[in-house]
Structure 1
Amino acid sequence: MVGTLAQGAMAQDAAPPAAPAVPQATATGLSADAIAFRDGLAHETAGLDETTRAAIDGFYASRDYRPFWNAGEGSPLATLEASVEQADAQGLPFFRYDADALQLLAGEPGMVGSPKLEVAATRTYIRFTGDLSAGIVRPLDIDPEINVKPKRATAAALLARLSDGSVSEVLRAAEPQDPDYRALMAEKERLEGLLGTDAWGAPVPAGPTLHVGESSPRVADLRARLARLGYGPDTAQAAVDDAAPAAVETAAAASAFDPGLEAEVKRFQKDNGLVDDGVAGRRTIDALNASPEDRLEQVVVNLERLRWMNHDLGARRIEVNIPDFSVVLLDHGNIPWSSRAVVGNAAETRTPEFSDEMTYMVVNPTWHIPDSIATRVYLPKLRKDPTVLARSNMRLFTRSGVEINPKLVNFNQYTAENFPFRVKQNPNSANALGRVKFMFPNQFSIYLHDTPHRELFVKDARAFSNGCIRLQEPIELAEVLLKGQVPDPQASIDGWLAAKSERYVYLDQPLPVYIMYRSAWADPDGTIQYRADIYGRDGEVFRALEAKGVSLPDAAQG
């Protein structure tokens, strides 16, 4: 802010009456008190890393080495302490920010305005604000397939924000602005109120699939569990006492799977990403039997995921949600296209989380089969029958591009380590990539594409691919992406498809693509949607959070 004696004097003239007067300045342009404060800062920050030390010194230099964290009601220090007190509400560990020690220090005589207290408060602010805005665990440290890269601001950048607004404004702005963040915080509070209670009642026992028209004690259990979760008539009262809903007056009626119960099963299924067929099978029962503790872990994990993605994602982008098996195109708050998706197989070829930019699409694509798939899927078949490739309209090539007749090769001599060939599948109706693929070149060789296997889209759990994202509505996406780029997108695409030759179509503007793993969020009506942890990543992230000090309330642990 200042660097000369004149500037220092001007700053003091403009300061509010409560600001301390600056004693006579020295030749450096700083008062004796400021020099003493600066030297005290140097002592208190001596053990910090150079970047943080320089950031703190730069912040106070911009203030002529005057204290920032004034004490008292409504002061910056009081605001910081009050915000940190609420760290747990956001799924962050309170103790991580040394708030108790800071409060004790502030209460010591003569500490307010001292370099010791200022450095302590500043360090708490830097860590807390950084965690709010970018999370507390590094995704790649959890799993190499979680290739998400939070944009954590530097200490200097975080401190610079204090010049632009009040502490409360800065801290609130640091939080993810996604509406889901506040919705999940509210859900976290609700779930914590259920821990250690019988609010959700007994789980539904394992057994055969339940259908409308059937009658059994398990149907009564199903009805009761749904009512406790808010599905069914008179559910508000059912959630707080053991009385059956008013519409169910007898044990016989409670045990009957009637159309009313079927409707509530469908509603629950829709809220949990299941096929809403009204049939209570294993996946539906598993979702019903999730405990408040299970859901609370999911909420805490997804709060952290929102912090990882707390930066400008672009007004126009594609989002893939792996556990929801869905893809959407967002365009300035609107959704002009969405699709069901098939994602990577959970056992062998899990789809990674990452982001990149889509730059082109390929109509009538050739499938250049990755080596991992060629050796895992096709090499065992070639050992038994060298004609297997021809029947699938595939061809075999050397690494230098020379086509080879598979009948002339002894495939028994090859393994995944020494397989010297490449396999390609020509464009055709049975091509594994279908009619079009959408490319955002990346280290994982993942892309979006069509598929001839349309039957998979009727399933609720759709983890069947080799890692890439198969789309139910790929042609519609191509048309939307080319709108404004060609006069008639539908006619252009129809013509390219009819030509049956491979065609590269480059986008005028690159389009960000985010492949995410969101297992809890709020729908437009405010209902919290939960999805099954198909890859076990919720568990991985929660264990990493626990290692940083995050924990559920005692009632959830005991």
Structure 2
Amino acid sequence: MHTRTRTGSVRLFLTVLTLLTCLFVSPQGAQAQVTAFKQAVAEAASDDRDLAQYYREADYKGLWTGRGSKDASRRKALFAALADVDAHGLSARRYDARGLLAQMRAAKTPRDLGLAEVALSKTFLRYARDVQTGLLVPSKIDSGIVREVPYRARLSYLTSFEKSTPAAFLRQLPPQSAEYSRLMKEKMRLETLLAKGGWGDTVPGKSLKPSEQGAGVVQLRNRLIAMGYLRRNATQVYDANMQAAVQQFQLDHGLQPDGVAGAGTLTEINTPVEERLKSVIVAMERERWINMPLGKRHVLVNLADFSAKIIDNGKVTFETRSVVGANSSDRRSPEFSDVMEHMVINPTWNVPRSITVKEYLPMLKRNPNAVSHLRIIDSRGRVVSRNSVNFSQYTERTFPFAIKQPPSDRNALGLVKFIFPNKYNIYLHDTPAKNLFGRESRAYSHGCIRLHEPFEFAYALLAKQTNDPKGLFHSYLKTGVESVLPLEQPVPVHLDYRTAFTQAKGQVNFRRDVYGRDALIWKALAQAGVALQAQQS
């Protein structure tokens, strides 16, 4: 952890920049200078295909190191951006601005200047991609993060920057979403708190309840005050105000809002500022991974929050609880984006091969009449009589049958599923197992997303294409026959995973890292040089 002032590094770089308004090359023969400069640029850029193409097409002219005001404004804008990388949760050492400045100041020959030119471009490209679409490659962190990051062509950064106002171009690189802006503010707030010692002493004991009093209650009071959930007061009793504060804290942390500071609640209350700060920095990196238009209307599933939301023009218009994949290697729900095209009402469940051979085949070997609600189907689509099959002769590899469950209210998919075609065979669906939605942690499925209120979710989706969404939905449902109901306007779906996320009003929300993915992301960020900063205000 490092301690710094907010303006110190910016002041240092801008002071040095005053020395860079002219070149450091002494006059020589003009043609010799140009030739030496171009040769150095070509040599230094040769190991980078995009840079080599850019400079080749520009006849090896400089973008940064000329004497004119345009080049000077580009240098100034770049170094100002590099001075502020900590605000974005990036690593200053990754860009080595000090070393770059030293290289420029030491340039005495056209060759030196050509090498510095390319060094500036390489740093610019690294920073531009990092701040716009993240410095980590998601799939290298966890195999379940299969998101396609909206990378921009590296060459386009250079060609667009050349034609743009430098400072404005760089300001537009980070995500422009309200979420990213609020996360940045929370990061700064937590860094200031960190410099002041955090939220104070942790709360002792395993549980505190309304009407109790004593040292533990006083410490709970103090911590809630420090966190902004309770106004300053001198009470020593777990009174109604403290109970309301605990309930709000519980809501903001995905806990049952019973107003009792039990073991789970105290664990969250005692979580230090450092851990919350890590979650925010990870959330900022994740926001860069989806730095693209999400859709005026889109569905957002937060796996860590066990929720599914419909968002219209930036506002949540529908929200329901969800059950996500269990925390095991073959059942965790993946993270990706796709487009919902239709819903299937009265669906047939085509049991995935993995479930068929790993779960149901052992049961059928023990008892051919097990799971009798399921149908055994041969390669020609015919229902197979269980009594005619010797299941014990088959292995997971050789089992020749498929298993299906016909439409019914007992169907594992319930009465409706929502399809956004993808190679992971993931979709949203109803479920007969309603009891799971009452639990605090809801990671139980085989990977697909179960919805607590699937009918209401369907009505909300259909409201854009009919004046009677409920009537339309039930006209399909009452037939009892599997039917496809298309969405006239397909809806983007984003399966994401956020242990820290913001609200337009109120405190930032935090959730448990149920899959351990954010811990892996933080580890990778730290290895790349990202460090917690204690900000002196």
- TM-score tier (shorter): 0.7 to 0.9
SS of the residue 2:475 aligns to: helix
How is 1:277-356 mapped onto 2 (pairs within 5 angstroms)?
277-348=258-329, 349-356=331-338
Residue identity in the other structure for 1:136? L
SS of the residue 1:456 aligns to: helix
Cα 1:332–1:184, aligned 2, differ >3 Å: closer, same or farther?
A: closer
Residue identity in the other structure for 1:471? L
CA-to-partner distance for each residue in 1:163-198, whole Å, 9 max, x for gaps? 342221111100011122222222222222333654
Contact kept, 8 Å, 1:69 with 1:76, in 2: the verdict is no
> Considering only aligned residues, what root-mean-square deviation do their CA atoms show, in Å?
2.8
| Pairwise CA distance, 1:500 | 0.7
How is 1:10-21 mapped onto 2 (pairs within 5 angstroms)?
none
Residue in structure 2 matched with residue 543 of structure 1 by the alignment: 523
| Pairwise CA distance, 1:486 | 4.6
Residue in structure 2 matched with residue 44 of structure 1 by the alignment: 44
Distance in 1 between the 2:317 and 2:228 partners?
32
SS of the residue 1:337 aligns to: strand
CA-to-partner distance for each residue in 1:340-363, whole Å, 9 max, x for gaps? 111111135111101112122100
Residue in structure 2 matched with residue 23 of structure 1 by the alignment: none
Cα 1:413–1:553, aligned 2, differ >3 Å: closer, same or farther?
A: farther
Distance in 1 between the 2:490 and 2:32 partners?
56
CA-to-partner distance for each residue in 1:509-530, whole Å, 9 max, x for gaps? 3322110011112211152111
Q: Which runs of 4+ in 1 moved over 6 A?
A: 30-33, 71-74
Distance in 1 between the 2:424 and 2:405 partners?
20
SS of the residue 1:151 aligns to: coil
How is 1:391-470 mapped onto 2 (pairs within 5 angstroms)?
393-470=373-450
Residue in structure 2 matched with residue 488 of structure 1 by the alignment: 468
Residue in structure 2 matched with residue 78 of structure 1 by the alignment: 76
More deviation, 474-483/431-440: 474-483
Residue in structure 1 matched with residue 355 of structure 2 by the alignment: 373
Residue in structure 1 matched with residue 345 of structure 2 by the alignment: 363
What is the TM-score normalised by the length of structure 2?
0.87
Residue in structure 2 matched with residue 68 of structure 1 by the alignment: 64
| Pairwise CA distance, 1:457 | 2.1
| Pairwise CA distance, 1:381 | 3.3
SS of the residue 1:75 aligns to: helix
Distance in 2 between the 1:492 and 1:38 partners?
69
Cα 1:111–1:468, aligned 2, differ >3 Å: closer, same or farther?
A: farther
Report which structure shows greater RCO (CA 8 Å, sep ≥6): 2
Unaligned runs of 5+ in 1: 1-17, 21-29, 235-244, 249-253
SS of the residue 1:114 aligns to: helix
Distance in 1 between the 2:394 and 2:266 partners?
46
Distance in 2 between the 1:428 and 1:324 partners?
29
SS of the residue 2:478 aligns to: helix
Asked if residue 105 in structure 1 is aligned to residue 85 in structure 2, the reply is no
Asked if residue 223 in structure 1 is aligned to residue 205 in structure 2, the reply is no
Aligned length: 505
CA-to-partner distance for each residue in 1:268-320, whole Å, 9 max, x for gaps? 01111222121223321221121111111111111111111112222222111
Q: 1:211 aligns with which of 209, 212, 222?
A: 209
| Pairwise CA distance, 1:44 | 2.9
Contact kept, 8 Å, 2:191 with 2:534, in 1: the verdict is no
Residue identity in the other structure for 2:489? Q
Contact kept, 8 Å, 2:42 with 2:55, in 1: the verdict is no
More deviation, 487-496/323-332: 487-496
Residue in structure 1 matched with residue 183 of structure 2 by the alignment: 184
Asked if residue 114 in structure 1 is aligned to residue 113 in structure 2, the reply is yes
CA-to-partner distance for each residue in 1:323-342, whole Å, 9 max, x for gaps? 11111122333433222111
SS of the residue 1:511 aligns to: strand
SS of the residue 2:274 aligns to: helix
Cα 1:353–1:330, aligned 2, differ >3 Å: closer, same or farther?
A: same
SS of the residue 2:505 aligns to: coil
Distance in 2 between the 1:67 and 1:441 partners?
45
SS of the residue 2:317 aligns to: strand
SS of the residue 1:92 aligns to: coil
CA-to-partner distance for each residue in 1:6-58, whole Å, 9 max, x for gaps? xxxxxxxxxxxx999xxxxxxxxx98865554334213323x22232112333
CA-to-partner distance for each residue in 1:426-460, whole Å, 9 max, x for gaps? 11111111111001121211100111222222222
Cα 1:205–1:384, aligned 2, differ >3 Å: closer, same or farther?
A: farther
Contact kept, 8 Å, 1:358 with 1:438, in 2: the verdict is yes
Residue identity in the other structure for 2:203? V
Residue identity in the other structure for 1:552? L
Residue in structure 2 matched with residue 10 of structure 1 by the alignment: none
Contact kept, 8 Å, 1:70 with 1:77, in 2: the verdict is no
Residue identity in the other structure for 1:258? D
Contact kept, 8 Å, 2:357 with 2:399, in 1: the verdict is yes
Residue identity in the other structure for 1:364? N
Contact kept, 8 Å, 2:63 with 2:162, in 1: the verdict is no
Distance in 2 between the 1:70 and 1:33 partners?
12
SS of the residue 2:309 aligns to: strand
Unaligned runs of 5+ in 2: 1-20, 24-29
Distance in 1 between the 2:388 and 2:267 partners?
52
SS of the residue 2:172 aligns to: helix
Residue identity in the other structure for 2:39? D
Cα 1:70–1:359, aligned 2, differ >3 Å: closer, same or farther?
A: same
SS of the residue 1:195 aligns to: helix
Distance in 2 between the 1:216 and 1:375 partners?
57
Residue in structure 1 matched with residue 156 of structure 2 by the alignment: 157
Cα 1:223–1:497, aligned 2, differ >3 Å: closer, same or farther?
A: same
Residue in structure 2 matched with residue 14 of structure 1 by the alignment: none
Cα 1:486–1:191, aligned 2, differ >3 Å: closer, same or farther?
A: closer
Distance in 1 between the 2:22 and 2:297 partners?
47
More deviation, 198-207/148-157: 198-207
Asked if residue 273 in structure 1 is aligned to residue 254 in structure 2, the reply is yes
